[in-house]
Amino acid sequence: NAGVTQTPKFQVLKTGQSMTLQCAQDMNHNSMYWYRQDPGMGLRLIYYSASEGTTDKGEVPNGYNVSRLNKREFSLRLESAAPSQTSVYFCAAPGTDTQYFGPGTRLTVL
């Protein structure tokens, strides 16, 4: 997971609480991505940013907002958490012929 860091690693929220997941990359790439992974399913794209200052919806954007703070950082915000958002969240950035993923944030919404 070299090059992509995420904080926090674990988080427990109550329904309706808000939080921001942080991601940073040191590969100097324009693009960054947020995915979620649920049991028995592959990773699904929530939002992505093709360059600093731009963001676009992915496959499952509802309930989330993102901010591309600068070229290094891409944050994911849950304004009002719901139990359906219990998942593992991965941030990613492209490398040569692939994407590199962070270690993930395991989020539980009670």
Partner 1 sequence: DQQVKQNSPSLSVQEGRISILNCDYTNSMFDYFLWYKKYPAEGPTFLISISSIKDKNEDGRFTVFLNKSAKHLSLHIVPSQPGDSAVYFCAASWMDSSYKLIFGSGTRLLVRP
Using alpha carbons only, give the angle 47, 42, 58 rounded to the nearest 5 degrees: 15
Which residues of the chain form contacts with partner 1 (CB under 8 A)? 1, 4, 31, 33, 35, 40-45, 48, 50, 56, 58, 90, 92, 94-95, 97-104, 106
Q: Which is nearer to partner 1, 71 or 106 (CB)?
A: 106
User: Whole-number minimum distance, CB 80 to partner 1, in Å?
Assistant: 27
Q: Which is nearer to partner 1, 91 or 109 (CB)?
A: 91
3-state helix, strand, coil in the chain (%, to 5): 5, 55, 45
Q: Which is nearer to partner 1, 44 or 71 (CB)?
A: 44
Q: Could you say which DSSP state residue 27 is in?
A: S
Q: Which is nearer to partner 1, 17 or 73 (CB)?
A: 73
What DSSP line would sit under 55-77, residue for residue?
A: -EE-S--TT-EEEE-SSSBEEEE
User: Whole-number minimum distance, CB 11 to partner 1, in Å?
Assistant: 14
Within 10 angstroms of residue 2's Cβ, the number of other Cβ atoms is 8
